[in-house]
Amino acid sequence: MQPIQMADPVDSVDPILEARGVTMRFGGLTAVDDVDLSVAAGEIVGLIGPNGAGKTTFFNCLTGLYTPTAGSITFRGQQLPPKPYRVAEAGISRTFQNIRLFPNMTALENVMVGRHCRTREGLLSAIGRGPRFRAAEREARETAEDLLSFLDLDKHAYSIARSLPYGDQRKLEIARALASDPGLLLLDEPTAGMNPRETTALRETIFKIRERGLSVIVIEHDMRFIFNLCDRVVVLARGKKLTEGRPDQVRADERVIATYLGTADQEASDVR
């Protein structure tokens, strides 16, 4: 499957996510500087830039881990609250650079944890284990089983998470993020540590996720992966947006080549 090709960055379609003028300062350091980003429904957007460009800090602003110093972030037309659990409830889920599974829980249990924000049973219900609690538990288990099957992890359902191969641990973290039933999935360097076979499999997995109606934003340093995956690529440099456009436009941009990709000859060999 080939990524959707768009003539220009999305501007005629109402965005599912809209960030305007997002700025994040830490004392005298400006990590993210007046960044705008719109994401349409069903769009896959790549976020690239050299180390220290502000990519993960920007993700942290989108997901409520940081409260931006300035700017606004709306999702589905509503202002996002600066609290991670409220952002998850609103429909944005994410993974992290470093795998953050519950290592001594099974794969199934890890995914069931991701379903927690969609359940409404409280402490008393859990203690009493009444019919409503059992129904919610059954629904969470069925959802987790479906997601493990969707990501070809069903054979690991009852395996301890830390015993899974590295690539499957990455996929398990995605399954847990999907358990919250998001409309937007944020993936922070999902191919880190993967071999070429695992990277190719992950690209196909992200296409399958898009087919379920989700939008995806991906931070990644693997240029071949990004340029063969994304509908649109946004480039950050020193906290500012350098450019954005279709992968072929960004790949050919002299500012991007000079700032991030190295020489033109090197860039061309990197993305073949």
Has residue 256 been placed in a domain?
Answer: yes
Averaged over 2-26, what is the pLDDT? 69
Has residue 168 been placed in a domain?
Answer: yes
Q: Pick the closest to residue 205 from 238, 173, 162, 253 (CA basis).
A: 173
Rounded to 5, what percent of the chain is helix, strand, coil? Answer: 40, 20, 35
Q: Pick the closest to residue 92 from 73, 110, 111 (CA basis).
A: 73
Averaged over 10-37, what is the pLDDT? 89
Interatomic CA distance for residues 171 and 231, integer angstroms: 22
Q: Pick the closest to residue 45 from 71, 19, 67, 22 (CA basis).
A: 19
- Name the domain count of the chain: 2
Interatomic CA distance for residues 27 and 223, integer angstroms: 32
- Ramachandran angles phi, psi of 159, nearest 5°: -85, 145
Interatomic CA distance for residues 23 and 35, integer angstroms: 7
Averaged over 194-209, what is the pLDDT? 92
Has residue 129 been placed in a domain?
Answer: yes
Is pLDDT at 7 greater than 80 in this prediction? no
Has residue 33 been placed in a domain?
Answer: yes
Residues 1 and 87 in one domain: yes
* Of the candidate ranges 57-66, 135-144, 232-241, the one whose mean pLDDT is the lowest: 135-144
Single pTM value for the model? 0.84
Residues 174 and 202 in one domain: no
